[in-house]
Structure 1
Amino acid sequence: MRKTFSLSVVAVVLAATVAGPAPSAAADDSFYVPPSPLPAGAPGDVIRFRASQAGASGSTVRAWQVMYRSTDALGQPNAVTGTVLVPRSVDPATAPVVAFAVGTHGPAFRCAPSEMVRIGALYEQPAVDDLLRAGYAVAITDYEGYRPDPKTTYVTGRSEGHAVIDLVRAAQRLPGTGLSRDAKVVFRGYSQGGGAAMWAGQLQPGYAPELNLVGVVGGGVPADLVQVALPLDGRKGFGLLAYSLIGLDNAYPELDLEAYLNDVGRAEFARMQREACTLELLVDYQGRRLADYTTSSPVLTPPWLARVAENKLGGTAIRVPVHAYHATGDDLVDFTQAKALRDAYCALGVRVDWQTYATDHITAVYTGNAAAQAFTADRIAGRPATSDC
């Protein structure tokens, strides 16, 4: 019964990201256009901000949309947007901050997570609500590239990890939030967001050592892009494979994805970037094959393999406790590579709390919330962490 309920909720909310009028209303929004050149500053500095709405969270939460400086996958400064939510019931000076890294939203500008938050169509809203009710500030990055001419860098680890980290910095520097720079911080996410949270955890000691990071939560993590991609060709998750190619190509221009595409591929991949949100990726492109869109496959060429290797998690320890979880019947993000990430972290001495669920990828968006919330509460309370290693 629970599985049926979860899937129906997902279908309704994903449909809202496609059919609702508000996302398309953002298509001409100049707020999302990065200034050129970027103003001088450091990662996490606020470029611009505006008051927003907390959507499904209503008037109990103060909300801001923010553009902030971050760092792309090549180490160059960039501008990223996101949302900061602070419950009105808490003293922000003592509130912990959870950087909530969302799952796949799709390449089109209308899919930007900050717009989904604003209109109440965020499909991970139950998890966000749990965090807000617990008295935590929540920082939700859009990741790099959501703008009227979108160039999102989907599944690109360093870009996503930096975006997660730097929104915490921006939230602490944002006028009016009152958040402390000493606040306890947790990185949390599922699917794309699980990968982003893990990357943020790996990068934080060198990139943002001043943050008071106490824990990392990652579910449904695409840790090894090769092992994730191989089962998607010709299956229902092909749209995610195609979007991954687009994301890597946007992050690393030398990959030159267009050179591998046939006429159909060029038209369809361009349409995907203009129009596709998560629902279209899963429905419109299911069963397609890379061979339908390419003259030759880029995925096994040396330039692509090198960049994919750079985006494999597990080569660096996370210094704080980690809660990792995955669905054993995951039909979109291979289970075995997630288990391999857990083993790699254990070998590096990471304290890993590992949990599995006998379900599929989408259902586990919800199934894993309770344990993730409990782990977050324990880390913020300073309780000793357990490890399954």
Structure 2
Amino acid sequence: MTNQALDTPGILISCEPTRACLLPGIKLSARAWAIRYTTSTATGGIIEATGTVLVPTARSPHALIGYAVGTQGLAPRASAASAQLAFGLEYEAVFLAAGLRRGWVLAVPDYPGLGTGTTHPYVIGHALGPAVLDLLRAARQITHERLADLPIAITGYSEGGCAAGWALQLHPTYAPELPVVAGAVGAPPADLLDCYERHQRSPYSFLLAYGLIGLDAAYPDLHATRHLNWRGRQLFRIFRHTHVVAAVILGLIGWLLPLFRVESCVNEHPLDDPDVRAHLELNRLGDSPPSVPTFLATGMWDQAIPYRQTVDLDARWATAGAQVTTNLIPRREHITGALAFARRAYPFLDRHLVTSDQQLPEAS
């Protein structure tokens, strides 16, 4: 492979067999491929990223799905979805298994930074959207699996909803050659400023640390962490190496103990910095519409991402001309909302994939 090829996003660098387990010792019904590929950064550079492609073995594949996982953590290798799938520890595996039973080939990105030993640009849409689209491009280059003619859909929940939403927005201009026919976006953090302002004194305060670390990783010239004091820098060093479960526990401690609250960790609040706010606003989802039918949903009791963000995103996309089907799911918080989202999103995607499959004989 030439250096010129590696300067292009969406190039398959390597493809090796790997393990993917539903639970420890219980394999998913799929051939699993560990993928290394090129993708774009939020500032337009080209980097390498990793992911997993799962090809169902119990049914003939009839669609290729960009499956964007929810928050895994920031630990550069341990938090990668591919690493957790290999050991049967991936919490999204039950949803992956359901997709495989439908005959979906699943392209699961680790996201930039995770799996490659660098820092993950957490919920930065201009980094996550390309990572999803470029993995789909790379998956179509696995010649022995013959995936290039399959119709494509994109789905994700939580951070995955952010990644999926941005992939759907960017698809018409960034990767128009991909035959995307539908999308599903669940509980997306569409407005990062709103999220971070709401969680300064909540049990989800770890999202502030994750968000600032992600912003700093995506835009290093911004120096977003320069506002931290000594205590804040030490905490951030810890958070950079956490799985999401550990981060939630640390966030609860920070909520309970004044010692670890935001005001005790900064010299100046990062959200008071106009440049920080501008870059968060740059990654607000909804400025351009998806070009394909899109299912959008969230739980109305969501404690992590306010459901009003989904309402606002629906309005922004609809005003821009998108075909959006929106569900506000009653009596569901963030975790139970994921289950309810999948039960609604998967049939929605399948309806559009089947229609596309009937219209495109080469995909059969």
After TM superposition, the score normalised by the length of structure 1 is 0.85
Task: Please tell me the root mean square deviation across aligned C-alpha atoms, in Å.
Answer: 1.8
Alignment of 1:282-321 (within 5 A): 282-286=248-252, 287=255, 288-321=260-293
Secondary structure, in 3 states, of the residue corresponding to 2:145?
coil
1:31 is aligned to none
After TM superposition, the score normalised by the length of structure 2 is 0.90
Q: Which of 147, 151, 156 is matched with 1:184 structurally? A: 151
**Within the alignment, does 1:72 sit opposite 2:41 as a pair?**
yes
Q: Which of 307, 321, 328 is matched with 1:335 structurally? A: 307
Residues of 2 paired with 1:39 and 1:265: CA distance? 41
- Which runs of 4 or more aligned residues in structure 1 lie more than 4 Å from their structure 2 counterparts after TM superposition? none
1:26 is aligned to none
Secondary structure, in 3 states, of the residue corresponding to 1:131?
helix
Aligned residues of 1:38 and 1:79 also touching (Cα < 8 A)? no
1:371 is aligned to 344
Secondary structure, in 3 states, of the residue corresponding to 2:138?
helix
Aligned residues of 2:50 and 2:115 also touching (Cα < 8 A)? no
Cα offsets for 1:304-335 (capped at 9, x unmatched): 11111110111101110010001111111111
2:362 is aligned to none
Cα separation, partners in 2 of 1:38 and 1:122, compared to 1, 3 Å: farther
Q: Which of 131, 156, 161 is matched with 1:194 structurally? A: 161
Residues of 2 paired with 1:165 and 1:356: CA distance? 27
Shift, 1:343, TM fit? 0.8
Secondary structure, in 3 states, of the residue corresponding to 1:173?
coil
Output the amino acid matched with 2:85: V
The more displaced of 142-151 and 235-244 is 142-151
2:9 is aligned to 43
1:170 is aligned to 138
**Within the alignment, does 1:210 sit opposite 2:177 as a pair?**
yes
Aligned residue pairs total 344
Residues of 1 paired with 2:247 and 2:335: CA distance? 14
Shift, 1:227, TM fit? 1.1
Cα separation, partners in 2 of 1:309 and 1:320, compared to 1, 3 Å: same
Residues of 2 paired with 1:148 and 1:340: CA distance? 35
Shift, 1:47, TM fit? 1.4
Residues of 2 paired with 1:283 and 1:146: CA distance? 21
Aligned residues of 2:40 and 2:130 also touching (Cα < 8 A)? yes
**Within the alignment, does 1:281 sit opposite 2:247 as a pair?**
yes
Aligned residues of 1:68 and 1:79 also touching (Cα < 8 A)? yes
Residues of 2 paired with 1:117 and 1:178: CA distance? 23
Cα separation, partners in 2 of 1:216 and 1:107, compared to 1, 3 Å: same
Shift, 1:177, TM fit? 2.3
2:127 is aligned to 159
Shift, 1:59, TM fit? 5.9
2:359 is aligned to none
Residues of 1 paired with 2:321 and 2:214: CA distance? 31
Cα offsets for 1:328-376 (capped at 9, x unmatched): 1111111112210011111111111111122211221212211011111
The more displaced of 357-366 and 305-314 is 357-366
1:17 is aligned to none
Output the amino acid matched with 2:55: V
Residues of 1 paired with 2:205 and 2:270: CA distance? 15
Alignment of 1:214-293 (within 5 A): 214-274=181-241, 276-286=242-252, 287=255, 288-293=260-265
Cα separation, partners in 2 of 1:350 and 1:265, compared to 1, 3 Å: same
Output the amino acid matched with 1:113: A
Alignment of 1:117-136 (within 5 A): 117-136=85-104
Cα offsets for 1:47-73 (capped at 9, x unmatched): 122210121172631001111011010
Aligned residues of 1:182 and 1:211 also touching (Cα < 8 A)? no
Secondary structure, in 3 states, of the residue corresponding to 1:168?
helix
Secondary structure, in 3 states, of the residue corresponding to 1:223?
coil
Shift, 1:41, TM fit? 4.9
The answer for unaligned runs of 5 or more in structure 1 is 1-34, 384-389
Secondary structure, in 3 states, of the residue corresponding to 2:335?
coil
Secondary structure, in 3 states, of the residue corresponding to 1:284?
helix
Cα separation, partners in 2 of 1:132 and 1:89, compared to 1, 3 Å: same
Output the amino acid matched with 1:313: L
Aligned residues of 1:102 and 1:192 also touching (Cα < 8 A)? yes
Residues of 2 paired with 1:285 and 1:155: CA distance? 18
Residues of 1 paired with 2:67 and 2:272: CA distance? 33
Cα offsets for 1:82-107 (capped at 9, x unmatched): 00000123445xx3101100000110
Shift, 1:273, TM fit? 0.8
Residues of 2 paired with 1:269 and 1:340: CA distance? 31
Secondary structure, in 3 states, of the residue corresponding to 2:290?
coil
